[in-house]
Amino acid sequence: MKQVRALGAFSGGLDGMLACKVLMEQGILVETVTFDSPFFDVEAGRKAAAVIDVPWRAIDFTDDIISLLFNPPSGFGKNMNPCIDCHATMFRRLKEYAEAEGYDFIFSGEVVGQRPMSQNRGSLNRVKNLSHAGDILLRPLSAKILEPTPMEESGLVDRERLLDLNGRGRSRQLEMAKNFGFSFVPSPGGGCLLTDPGYTNRLRNLKNFNLLSGENAKMIKFGRMFLLDEAIGLVGRSSEENDKMLEAGFGIQLDIQKVPGPLGVLLGKKTTENLTLLTAIMASYTKAEEMVTSVSNQNEIFTAEKMDSLERREYLVTL
């Protein structure tokens, strides 16, 4: 008999782990994919896949999610999270991989009613339709309370051995995890930065300044943020953060000369005015009355007097 193969969307949450196990118990060969972007960490996926011992890979999703942030057809959730279109795009991508690589179907750990907006029955149907993957998409944990899929109708998957999970409770999932002997149970909550009010406030500024890109979205995870003229300034809050900003390496990096102090990064319009202003802001976090900075690895020098903290507040993004 031909070996049935399935490819799962896998964030690293408990439901995804259980969906894999439910299919594996039917003898289906399961592999997993975590979509990688500046907004979610693929390490959770890698770790969870190791716990259940399934093949795992990360697929870059940055361009897809960035383009959705401009105008998602189904709108945003509470913050800047376009969950319905995000899920639909993930399934569309997953279907492309599955068809190209000979998998029989794709699946996810979605549970009906688990999230009030993005995982109710209507949203799951909308995602299915938008993704154009409905013909090969299975949700093993709630399959018995959803319309039978072609995989169940053809006998590729035994519907009787799928589940009927419904709602937000986790007790059945935790019981299953125990029975399967999982050595690690991920805590609930997705960890997607697009649902974080503080980060998305920063992201909105990038968008308003026409600076939304994968690189800039990574960079604004660090530093205090200041709004300049068609540009955003970032100033490191600790030596650890300075190192991370240096390592990320995006934007125009401004080093302080002679005295210790924070690293500055300019995203957007590079002008002498913006770089001098950023120098004055950086100086305000040091003991120096006057500050000299230079653009990393270049001979451009900027000199500014320390800005006082009241003036600094006019530029600072709070939250």
Binding site for ligand SF4 (CB under 6 A): 40, 81-83, 86-87, 190, 192, 194-195
Closest by alpha carbon to 267, among 192, 207, 184?
207
* Three-state SS at 219: helix
Closest by alpha carbon to 290, among 299, 277, 309, 303?
303
Instruction: Name the residue nearer to ligand SF4 (CB basis): 72 or 223.
Output: 72
Alpha-helical segments (H) within 194-255: 197-208, 214-219, 239-248
Instruction: Name the residue nearer to ligand SF4 (CB basis): 197 or 249.
Output: 197
State in angstroms the smallest separation of the CB of 208 from ligand SF4.
20
Contacts of residues 67-72 at CB distance under 8 Å and 24 or more positions apart, as own/partner, are 69/194, 69/203, 69/207, 69/212, 70/207, 70/212
State in angstroms the smallest separation of the CB of 40 from ligand SF4.
5
Instruction: Name the residue nearer to ligand SF4 (CB basis): 67 or 257.
Output: 67
Q: In whole angstroms, what is the distance from residue 292 CA to residue 274 CA? A: 14
State in angstroms the smallest separation of the CB of 305 from ligand SF4.
43
Instruction: Locate 50 and state its tokens.
Output: 């190791």
State in angstroms the smallest separation of the CB of 212 from ligand SF4.
15
Instruction: Name the residue nearer to ligand SF4 (CB basis): 81 or 242.
Output: 81
Q: In whole angstroms, what is the distance from residue 29 CA to residue 103 CA? A: 9
State in angstroms the smallest separation of the CB of 193 from ligand SF4.
8
Instruction: Name the residue nearer to ligand SF4 (CB basis): 71 or 171.
Output: 71
Instruction: Name the residue nearer to ligand SF4 (CB basis): 200 or 253.
Output: 200
State in angstroms the smallest separation of the CB of 232 from ligand SF4.
22
CB 97 within 8 Å of CB 33? yes
